[in-house]
Structure 1
Amino acid sequence: MSQPLSNLRRVLLYSHDTYGLGHLRRNLAIAEHLLAGHPHLQIVLMTGSSVADRFSTPSRLKIVQLPPVVKVGDEDYQSRDPRWSTDLVRRSRSAIMKDTARRFQPDVFLVDHAPQGMKKELLPVFEVLRSTSPATRIVLGLRDVIDVPQIVRENWAKAGVYETLDQVYDRILVYGSAELFDVATLYGLPEAISSKMTYCGYVSRHHYDSSPRRDVDDFVLGIAGGGGDGAEVLSATLVASAALGKRCVVMTGPLMSEQDRSALTLQAATHPLASILEFVTDPSEMMSRAQVVVTMGGYNSLCELVALRAPTVVIPRVHPRREQAIRAKIFAQLGIVALEMPGQDLATRLQETLARVAETERDILTPALDLGGLGNVEKALETEAATSRRHGNTQRSSQSTSKAS
Structure 2
Amino acid sequence: MSITAVLYSHDSVGLGHARRNRALAHALAADLPRLTGQPVRGLLIAGHPDATADSLPAGWDWLVLPGFTRTAEGYASRSLDVSNERLSSLRRSTAAAAIKAMSPDLFIADRHPFGVDGELLDSLEWLRSQGTRCVLGMREVLDSPAAAQAEWEKIGGASAAARFYHAVWVYGDPSVYNPISSGEIPQPLATRTRFTGYLSRGRPTDELSDSSVRAPQPYVLSMVGGGSDGGRLALAAAQARVPAGHRHIILTGPQMPSTDHDSVELAVAASPDAAQIQVTRLAPHVPQLVREAAAVVSMAGYNSTAEIMATRTPALLVPRAARRAEQPRRAHALAAVGAVDTLALEDLNAEALSRWLAEAVVRRCDRGAVDLDGLTRIGALAAAELALGPPSRRHSTARPGLGMLRPQPRPATAAVPSAAPSGPARPAHAAAPTTTPLSAPAAEARFDFHAR
User: Which TM-score band (shorter chain)?
Assistant: 0.7 to 0.9
Distance in 1 (alpha carbons) for counterparts of 2:239 and 2:112: 37
Q: Which residue of 1 aligns with 2:255?
A: 255
Q: Secondary structure at the match of 2:265?
A: helix
Q: Check if 1:313 corresponds to 2:309.
A: no
Q: CA deviation at 1:175?
A: 0.7
Paired AA for residue 118 in structure 1: V
Q: CA deviation at 1:321?
A: 1.0
Q: Check if 1:164 corresponds to 2:148.
A: no
Identity %: 30
Q: Check if 1:10 corresponds to 2:8.
A: no
Distance in 2 (alpha carbons) for counterparts of 1:304 and 1:84: 37
Q: Which residue of 2 aligns with 1:81?
A: 79
Q: Secondary structure at the match of 1:195?
A: helix
Distance in 2 (alpha carbons) for counterparts of 1:31 and 1:311: 29
Q: Secondary structure at the match of 1:10?
A: strand
Paired AA for residue 251 in structure 1: L
Deviations 1:336-355 (A, max 9, x none): 11111112552222222222
Distance in 2 (alpha carbons) for counterparts of 1:27 and 1:216: 32
Change in Cα spacing, 1:106 to 1:274, as seen in structure 2 (3 Å) is same
Q: Which residue of 1 aligns with 2:433?
A: none
Paired AA for residue 148 in structure 2: V
In the alignment, is the contact (CA less than 8 A) between 2:386 and 2:394 conserved in 1?
A: no
Distance in 2 (alpha carbons) for counterparts of 1:266 and 1:347: 15
Change in Cα spacing, 1:367 to 1:72, as seen in structure 2 (3 Å) is farther
Deviations 1:88-110 (A, max 9, x none): 22211110111112111111111
Distance in 1 (alpha carbons) for counterparts of 2:186 and 2:286: 40
Q: Which residue of 2 aligns with 1:149?
A: 145
Q: Which residue of 1 aligns with 2:45?
A: 46
Q: CA deviation at 1:56?
A: 2.2
Q: CA deviation at 1:389?
A: 4.9
Stretches (4+) displaced over 6 A: none
Q: Secondary structure at the match of 1:139?
A: strand
Distance in 2 (alpha carbons) for counterparts of 1:199 and 1:393: 25
1:340 paired residue among 343, 348, 368: 343
Distance in 1 (alpha carbons) for counterparts of 2:323 and 2:119: 21
Aligned residues: 376
Q: CA deviation at 1:242?
A: 4.5
Q: CA deviation at 1:193?
A: 2.5
Q: Which residue of 1 aligns with 2:189?
A: 193
Distance in 2 (alpha carbons) for counterparts of 1:118 and 1:91: 11
Q: Check if 1:323 corresponds to 2:326.
A: yes
Distance in 2 (alpha carbons) for counterparts of 1:244 and 1:31: 41
What does 1:4-403 align with in structure 2 at a 5 Å threshold? Answer: 9-37=3-31, 38=33, 40-72=39-71, 76-81=74-79, 83-131=81-129, 133=130, 135-187=131-183, 189=185, 191-206=187-202, 217-242=217-242, 246-270=246-270, 271-343=274-346, 346-359=349-362, 361-362=363-364, 364=366, 367-390=368-391, 392=393
Paired AA for residue 54 in structure 1: A
Paired AA for residue 158 in structure 1: K
Q: Secondary structure at the match of 2:344?
A: coil
Distance in 2 (alpha carbons) for counterparts of 1:218 and 1:238: 17
Q: CA deviation at 1:73?
A: 5.2
Which has the bigger relative contact order, CA under 8 A and spacing at least 6? Answer: 2
In the alignment, is the contact (CA less than 8 A) between 1:116 and 1:164 conserved in 2?
A: no
RMSD: 2.3
Distance in 2 (alpha carbons) for counterparts of 1:254 and 1:31: 23
Deviations 1:103-139 (A, max 9, x none): 11111111111112112211121112233x2x20111
- Structure 1: 5+ residue stretches without partners: 208-214, 395-405
Deviations 1:187-224 (A, max 9, x none): 265553322111111112438xxxxxxx9933221111
In the alignment, is the contact (CA less than 8 A) between 1:218 and 1:247 conserved in 2?
A: yes
Change in Cα spacing, 1:192 to 1:88, as seen in structure 2 (3 Å) is same
Greater share of residues in helix: 1
Distance in 2 (alpha carbons) for counterparts of 1:371 and 1:269: 39
Q: Secondary structure at the match of 2:310?
A: helix
Paired AA for residue 16 in structure 2: G
Deviations 1:292-332 (A, max 9, x none): 11111011111121211111111111111121111011111
In the alignment, is the contact (CA less than 8 A) between 1:73 and 1:320 conserved in 2?
A: no
Distance in 1 (alpha carbons) for counterparts of 2:176 and 2:125: 35
- Structure 2: 5+ residue stretches without partners: 204-214, 396-452
In the alignment, is the contact (CA less than 8 A) between 1:218 and 1:246 conserved in 2?
A: yes
